[in-house]
Amino acid sequence: MSKATTAVEVLAGDNSTAALDVERVRQDFPILRQMAYGQPLVYLDNAASAQKPRQVLDAMQEAYETYYSNVHRGVHHLSQLSTDAFEAARDKVARFINARSVDEIVFTRGGTESINLVAATYGRKFLTAGDEIVISHMEHHANIVPWQMLRDELGVVLKVAPIDDDGNLLLDEYEKLLSPRTRLVAMTHISNALGTVTPIRDIIRLAHERGAKVLVDGCQAAPHMILDVQELDADFYVFSGHKMYGPTGIGVLWGKEEILNDMPPYQTGGEMISVVTLEKTTFKKAPHRFEAGTPAIVEAIGLGAAVDYLTGLGLDNIHAHEDGLLAYATQRLGAVPGLVIHGRAKEKASIVSFLMEDIHAHDIGTIVDRAGVAVRVGHHCAQPVMERFGVAATARASFAVYNTRAEVDALAEALDKVRELFAR
């Protein structure tokens, strides 16, 4: 492993107050040295999945090479080492979001499974016909479809909070949807399609005033801002490892401990049981009652390393850097003739969704790819918000800690080529 000083080490003594040295950060990501079609890779698809620093890759490799074993029930040396590392990752996540207890951290396969877990357990136990669930018009499919399935199965009522033409959540209209029958609000923290940062504290407060529980989809928020679930006071908060520079196949469901322990298991099998006889089974308390079978051991260790990496850089530093990139990209791309940005909310994260006049999003993505620039095109698993804006798809550039203004310029120059090609 290289002994070069890392960006995390540079900032470690500065209490996370120093500005990011982005070039040094980039050295932590081996994949950014790749070429695409003979051009330096410009990776602007971070809202879909972020790249991995060598600190995460090294932690996972070390686990596989030096102490890998199954966890929790082994008494031998390797099992104890793996268990310690696995549970240390849970502790890191708990501290990262300021959970009251490590027992509030459930490891899942990702944000999608976390939401489905709540729908399948809390939803089926505590919701009945006529109860109401409120979502927003800008939710990811993962925070729409599970509630639609509950609606069809149980007869609950699904309500949708509207957004305005800039992508702002209409808080007054949301409040009007809340009623004595509202049992659950499931809302995104940051829209993956528009970048809108929702007024999540007000959303939670208003729901709690009506006695409703709140689930927050934090998949786009976790890599970009300081999270404090105690201060937010939601009842559930979910996010995925792969969007925060960790591996795929690992995610987190945070829930208030008393609520988690009232919920039935999601899956059954080994590890989540207390006692099994042929007549009856009793289950462990959270989090283990929701972690049936052999978990994603090394992926959890990788997530723990990603948390260390983000913490070392400082979420304030990351947010300031990405906020600057968003402002620059909004101005730079907005100057491209014929380009229209969809989503200009008052509070936005580092996502720019756009279209160019009379040019399909997939054509945009294909052409800029040949210039080495990777963007996401399509409906972004948010078809209702596409319908709201009257489009089938957009191109989306999403920025991360390792992106630069020069890369924004590379995208803008590639878009100029798109315009020139279609002007012929």
Task: Note whether residue 424 is domain-resident.
Answer: no
Q: What is the CATH number of the domain that holds 183?
A: 3.40.640.10
- Among the three residues 265, 296, 311, which one is the final residue of a domain in this structure? 311
Residue 1 burial (10 A CB sphere; 0-12, 13-18, 19+): exposed
Phi, psi of 44 (to 5 degrees): -125, 40
pLDDT at 7: 55
The total number of structural domains in the chain stands at 2
**Any domain includes 200:** yes
Q: Which of 295, 311, 327 is the last residue of a domain?
A: 311
Does one domain contain both 96 and 25? no
Give me the tens of pLDDT residue by residue for the chain, a chain 424 residues long: 333 345 544 443 333 334 799 999 999 999 999 999 999 999 999 999 999 999 999 999 999 999 999 999 889 999 999 999 999 999 999 999 999 999 999 999 999 999 999 999 999 999 999 999 999 999 999 999 999 999 999 999 999 999 999 999 999 999 999 999 999 999 999 999 999 999 999 999 999 999 999 999 999 999 999 999 999 999 999 999 999 999 999 999 999 999 999 999 999 999 999 999 999 999 999 999 999 999 999 999 999 999 999 999 999 999 999 999 999 999 999 999 999 999 999 999 999 999 999 999 999 999 999 999 999 999 999 999 999 999 999 999 999 999 999 999 999 999 999 999 998 6
Q: Which CATH number do you get for residue 329?
A: 3.90.1150.10
**Is-contact 303 93, C-beta < 8 A?**
yes
The verdict on 302 and 322 lying in the same domain is: no
Residue 205 three-state SS:
helix
In a shared domain, residues 296 and 338: no
Both 34 and 108 in one domain: the answer is: no
* DSSP classification of residue 390: T
Catalytic annotation present for 219: no
Q: Which tokens belong to 151?
A: 């609606």
Q: Count Cβ atoms below 10 Å from residue 20 Cβ, excluding itself.
A: 20
Do 325 and 279 share a structural domain? no
Nearest to 213 by CA among 298, 142, 122: 122
Q: Are residues 301 and 349 in the same domain?
A: no
In a domain, 220, yes or no: yes
Query: Is the domain of 24 the same as that of 97?
Result: no
Q: Is residue 323 part of a domain?
A: yes
Are 21 and 72 within one domain?
Answer: no
**Cα 10 from Cα 322, distance rounded (Å):** 19
Give yes or no: residues 171 and 271 share one domain.
yes
94 & 132 share domain? yes
Determine the distance from the C-alpha atom of residue 139 to the mean position of all C-alpha atoms in its chain, rounded to a whole number.
Answer: 12
Give the domain range for residue 68: 59-311
**423 assigned to some structural domain:** no
- Does residue 184 fall inside a structural domain? yes
Closest C-alpha to 207, from 154, 152, 161, 264: 161
Residue 422 belongs to some domain of the structure: no
Q: Indicate which residue of 81, 340, 381, 391 is catalytic.
A: 381
DSSP SS3 for 58: helix
Please provide the size of the chain in residues.
Answer: 424
Question: Order of strands, edge to edge, in the sheet holding 157-161?
Answer: 105-108, 251-255, 236-240, 213-217, 182-188, 132-136, 157-161
pTM: 0.95
Tokens 């890369």: give the residue: 407
Place of tokens 């659950």: 184
The predicted structure's pLDDT at residue 323? 98
176 contacts: CB under 8 Å, gap ≥ 6 = none
Whether 271 and 403 share a structural domain: no
Query: Where is the domain boundary, 262, 279, 311?
Result: 311
What is the dihedral angle through the alpha carbons of 314, 320, 334, 366, rounded to the nearest 10 degrees?
-10
Within a domain: residue 1?
A: no
Quick one: 354 and 323 in the same domain?
yes
